[in-house]
Amino acid sequence: MPTKKTRRSSGKHTGARRAGTSAGEKPVALTLKVDGETYVRLSTFRATQRRKTQDILEQALKEYLTRAGA
């Protein structure tokens, strides 16, 4: 009986690039720990806006850094 080869994922997303990254640039991982209330607020907002948490936080961080002149 022939065996079926399966590809194992490296665990890294290889799909479409995020806005703001150049073609050859890989995104860098960043971990953010928040309290329970903030997590629930963000999760609720994410669900009601039908947006990814990554997109919400990335936009907020970019806006903050722009305002801060960084």
3-state secondary structure of 41: helix
H or E element, residue 66: helix 53-67
Per-residue pLDDT of the chain (70 residues; tens, 9 = 90+): 556 565 555 555 545 555 555 678 899 999 999 999 999 999 999 999 999 999 999 999 999 999 999 9
Distance CA 22, CA 6 (A): 31
The confidence score (pLDDT) of residue 10 equals: 53
Structural domain boundaries of the chain? 36-67
Model-level pTM? 0.61
The confidence score (pLDDT) of residue 49 equals: 95
Read off the tokens for 50.
Answer: 């039908």
The confidence score (pLDDT) of residue 23 equals: 72
The confidence score (pLDDT) of residue 12 equals: 52
